Amino acid sequence: MRVVVTGIGMINSVGLNKDESFKNIIEGKTGIDRITHFNPEGFASQIAGEVKGFDPKSVMDPKDVKKADRFIQLGLAAAKEAMEDSGLSEYDSERFGISAASGIGGLPVIEKASVIVETRGPRRISPFFIPSALVNMLGGFTSIEYKLKGPNLASVTACAAGTHAITEAYKTIKAGMADKMMVVAGEACICPVGVGGFAAMKALSTRNDEPQKASRPFDAKRDGFVMGEGGACLILEKYEDAIKRGAKIYAEIIGIGESGDANHITTPAPKGEGAYRAMKMAYEMAGRPKIDYINAHGTSTKYNDLYETMAIKKLFGSKENCPPVSSTKGATGHCLGAAGTIEAVITLMAMQNNILPPTINYEYPDPECDLDYVPNEAREAEIDVAMSNSFGFGGTNGVVIFKKIKG
């Protein structure tokens, strides 16, 4: 059974929809700036990739907005675009499931509720607090919106969650448990606790005076990732069903890979050993095809970028055999649990347009990160097969490989 992608949508700091986002990414623009969601004065990191100009009432009933935290709202926006893009208007609800993802979920509403219970007492907590905070409520809200009665799943695997949501949806269709799956991810943790917590780990860039240049994957002067927020959605379905209804097919999923580092709660396994095994699993499942492009996890942290580079070189045998690699987090920031799904959409659009997205802010080559990272400017190239990588805290790794269907 073959599984294909027939609809996509995304929202992030460089655009409120997939076309605007991709255009700005290709043009080398960034959505990273000083934080406006709260006053960041006094925080070690004061910058982030915020979604600007988004009105949640555009994707949900105004009376329901207060029931859903921002990560759910952003996911719903992406889902709406993907469903419209897929052309699906009639379907068997019981054979259409959902695979949702978020790394942390409703952290802002958790933070606010904690303050309320401490200062005003437990009876002042909103009855919508729990439903708006739970990660799986992204799938809950979205399944209700589109009457999806198939499997309702949620991946909460840190920064690999978005890619794991794709692999879970793929496996669900392959197992015959659904004919179609919506993959939807959302993340919105740019709040005092979120930014302060990651800063306490020394994970964030502190280049506060140059926010547009702060996220610089694979660059020798990288000093940490920059938080982003956003949402993305992919519609997956059986190839036969897509052909039968004359659907537009972006690509076929031909390989998936998952692994665990079993090494450290935050630091990747030495030399990218865990990332390598996930990539190798996907590569071998796909039949070891010629890979034309890799959308790297590329967070702009010292060890992630170094070890991912080492893993890629190990997979392909040498630096010379490696395909072009880029990280789009310089544009969007690191959208945590939504990153993998957002980057899958970017990868699919790169394949559709035969253009390699750039790794922006690549100014100072790192001798240890020595691949072709498509520095600073997009590049035209035929992309028939592409890989997208995601790695998360806790040593969790996910990889997906897409293949263009021709003819």
pLDDT tens for 13-61 read 999 999 999 999 999 999 999 999 999 999 999 999 999 999 999 999 9
Q: Are strands 230-238 and 251-260 parallel, antiparallel or unpaired?
A: unpaired
Helix (H) or strand (E) run with residue 87 in it: none
List pLDDT tens digits, range 50-98.
999 999 999 999 999 999 999 999 999 999 999 999 999 999 999 999 9
Residue pointed to by tokens 């939504």 = 338
pLDDT recorded at residue 406: 79
pLDDT band with cut points at 50, 70 and 90 for residue 407: low
Q: Looking at 297, 322, 335, 369, which residue is catalytic?
A: 297
Mean pLDDT value of segment 301-316: 98
Active-site annotation holds for 334: yes
The one-letter code for the residue type at 407 is G
Q: What percent of the chain has pLDDT over 90?
A: 98
Rounded mean pLDDT of 157-177?
98
Tokens encoding 269: 């396994």
Q: What is the pLDDT at residue 339?
A: 98
Instruction: State the Cα–Cα distance between residues 4 and 248, nearest whole angstrom.
Output: 10
Active site residue 159: yes
Q: What does the alpha-carbon distance between residue 134 and residue 137 come to, in Å, rounded to a whole number?
A: 5
Least confident of 2-6, 276-280, 402-406: 402-406
pLDDT score recorded for residue 247: 97
Which helix (H) or strand (E) segment is 131 a member of? helix 129-133
Q: Which of 319, 293, 78 shows the shortest CA–CA distance to 188? A: 78
pLDDT in tens, 367-380: 999 999 999 999 99
Task: Tell me the CB-side half-sphere exposure of residue 208, using CA atoms within 13 A.
Answer: 10
For helices 339-353 and 18-26, angle between their N-to-C axes, nearest 10 degrees? 70
CA 34 to chain CA centroid, Å, is 22
Specify whether the CB–CB gap between 49 and 31 falls below 8 A: yes
Residue 338, pLDDT above cutoff 80: yes
Query: What is the Rg, in whole angstroms, of the alpha carbon atoms belonging to the chain?
Result: 20
- Rounded to the nearest integer, the mean pLDDT of the chain is 97
**From residue 397, how far is each of 38, 294, 369 by CA, in Å?**
32, 15, 20
CATH topology of domain 1-407: Peroxisomal Thiolase; Chain A, domain 1 (3.40.47)
Is 189 catalytic? The answer is: no
* pTM score, whole prediction: 0.97
* Domain range list for the chain: 1-407
Buried b (16+ CB within 10 A) or exposed e, 54-78: bebeebbeeebbebbbbbbbbbbbb
What gap in Å lies between CA 330 and CA 312, rounded to an integer?
20
Please list the helix, strand and coil fractions of the chain in percent, rounded to the nearest 5, in that order. Answer: 40, 20, 40
Q: In what order do the strands lie in the sheet with 230-238?
A: 152-155, 96-101, 180-187, 230-238, 3-11, 251-260, 396-403, 385-392, 293-295, 325-326
Query: Which pLDDT value is given to residue 9?
Result: 98
Pairing of strands 293-295, 325-326: parallel
For residue 67, the SS3 value is: helix
Annotated catalytic residue within 189, 233, 322, 334: 334
Q: What is the pLDDT of residues 106-138, one digit of tens each?
A: 999 999 999 999 999 999 999 999 999 999 999
